Amino acid sequence: MKTRSPATRFLNTVGSFSVIVLAAALTTVACGGGGKESSVASADAAAGHDLFKRTCATCHGPNGEGMPKLGKNLHANEFVKGTSDADLVEFIKLGRPAGHPDNTQGVDMPPKGGNPMLTDADIGAIVAYMRSLQ
């Protein structure tokens, strides 16, 4: 057949289009899949550090090193190491008032570090940043 019917041409077009879509999807899986954990975690950690500097640094120092009589050092921190991501998010939302039995500094850790604008996603990124300090 010399001339293809419009229907065949349509099918061919759809066919090549599907191949392109499939190839794109596979590329995404291939590239995104393997490196996903670390690249997402490091992107989160970088965004988290940004948020940390704006909200937490007043008491914990710009890089989480802690401040005397204020926020604790968050590097190699037993509490962070021993607490799940979800529980750390909860901890940050609630803070730890000076009257709390676990409080050792006698100073409040305010809920959300005193920044009510922080979303769960923001706090998740901050947790990723704190993980990078362990």
The rounded radius of gyration (Å) of the Cα atoms in the chain is 24
Chain positions 44 to 73 lying near ligand HEC, rule: CB under 6 A, are 55-56, 58-60, 70-72
Nearer to ligand HEC, 6 or 101 (CB): 101
Site mask for ligand HEC (CB under 6 A), range 17-46, x = bound: ------------------------------
Site pattern 109..128 for ligand HEC (x: CB under 6 A): xx-xxx-----------x--
- How many angstroms from the chain centroid is the CA of residue 50? 11
Rounded Cα distance, 57 and 73, in Å: 11
> Which position has the token pair 């419009």?
6
| Residue range at the interface with ligand HEC (CB under 6 A); choices 1-9, 17-25, 34-42, 100-108 | 100-108
Distance (Å, whole) CA 63 – CA 53? 7
